[in-house]
Amino acid sequence: MPLIIPKTLPAYDALYEENVFVMHRERALSQHIRPLEILILNLMPTKIATETQIARLLANTPLQVHMTLLQTASHAATHVSAAHLETFYKTFDEVKNNRYDGMIITGAPVEKIDFEQVDYWPELCEIMDFSETNVYSTLHVCWGAQAGLYYHYGIRKQLLNEKMFGVFEHRVTRPSNPLVRGFDEVFYAPHSRHTGISREDVLNCKALRILAESDEAGPFLMSTENGRQIFVTGHPEYDKYTLDAEYKRDVAKGLPIAVPKNYYPEDDPAQPPLFRWRAHAHLLYENWLNYYVYQNTPYDLGAIKRVEHGEE
Ligand SMILES: CC(=O)SCCNC(=O)CCNC(=O)[C@H](O)C(C)(C)COP(=O)(O)OP(=O)(O)OC[C@H]1O[C@@H](n2cnc3c(N)ncnc32)[C@H](O)[C@@H]1OP(=O)(O)O
Ligand SMILES: N[C@@H](CCO)C(=O)O
């Protein structure tokens, strides 16, 4: 919970300016006696692994967070049991009249095909439109980020010559932004994708800010000024062995796949990988929940207003 101190205490203004999570008693009393409502659109075929990874990161907070899992109706998943989806997942029809403090749109292994060839593209467009009207802040991950950048800003993904695969060094480019509060100046994050976006396209988009990037992997974390649309090009939620499983899966299939970079000691896949991104994954999700969602979302979800692009 935030530190509740009187607004007139000198520490209040000083800490508020530093984006330290303080609240005065009147504001604390007037709001947030309900859990944060977070919707997860899980587009990954590895649904259970992904929902567990995201839940782990969302749980790292004393805030009460209520997570709702969403599946697509226009594509029937084949790598998870229908019973699991039936029990734990909703469809867009069931949630489209609700409002949410936050939404996460995951990655998906469809980046080599055009957006319009993805079975659920029209449904995803509807959900992304809903993110502008019915959700306070939406975090897009990997292909989800590419889809969001294309849908909202017309930024196209580009096929890479070789898969961006491994754990890469990143640097914070806007240290004052609350999403990267507490980040080391240099940090690591995993990537696993065949496509990327151009840095120039992002810089040319007036609505977007690059908050962290990598010389090798490109822009990593982007946001609108007000944090209502956030894009992460890597997979901070991945577990220690997720890249290892993807690598060994492709080797077993006889695919021409390079060893993931900076992941195994001495680049030796026989050795256990190094987990070097976990702390920053937790920090990113915690900052998102604390600074963008909890502190800015209206107490009355009905008061969420459509994202005004001119206001970004
Ligand atoms: C760029 C990013 O966002 S990275 C995120 C994606 N990463 C991952 O998916 C990693 C984990 N995935 C995997 O290891 C593999 O996909 C596996 C092992 C689960 C399945 O592999 P395969 O059986 O070879 O199938 P394939 O790789 O073609 O994947 C099929 C998945 O692709 C997706 N897909 C493929 N074509 C389409 C399409 N036209 N429209 C929508 N989804 C499609 C589906 O999600 C499908 O899984 P589902 O039927 O369970 O929903
Ligand atoms: N992360 C994905 C990339 C393919 O979309 C995988 O290796 O399965």
- Split at pLDDT 50, 70, 90, the class of 195 is very high
Query: Which residue type does 120 have?
Result: Y
Distance CA 202, CA 213 (A): 12
Max Cα distance, the chain (Å): 66
Query: What is the separation of C-alpha 154 from the centre of its chain, rounded to a whole number of angstroms?
Result: 19
Is 125 annotated in the active site?
Answer: no
CB 253 less than 6 A from any atom of ligand 1: no
Active site includes 132?
no
Mean of pLDDT values over 153-161: 97
CA 311 to chain centre: 22
Q: Please check the confidence at residue 115 and state whether its pLDDT lies above 70.
A: yes
Quick: pLDDT tens for 249-287. 999 999 999 999 999 999 999 999 999 999 999 999 999
Distance from the alpha carbon of residue 196 to the mean position of ligand 2, in angstroms:
13
DSSP state letters, 89-130? EE-HHHHTT--EEEEEE---S-TTS-GGGSTTHHHHHHHHHH
The pLDDT of residue 147 = 98
Average pLDDT, the chain: 92
Catalytic residue flag (residue 205)? no
Catalytic, out of 132, 142, 170, 213: 142
pTM of the model: 0.92
What average pLDDT score do residues 217-223 get?
98
User: Residue 22: its pLDDT value, please?
Assistant: 66
pLDDT of 59 above 90: no
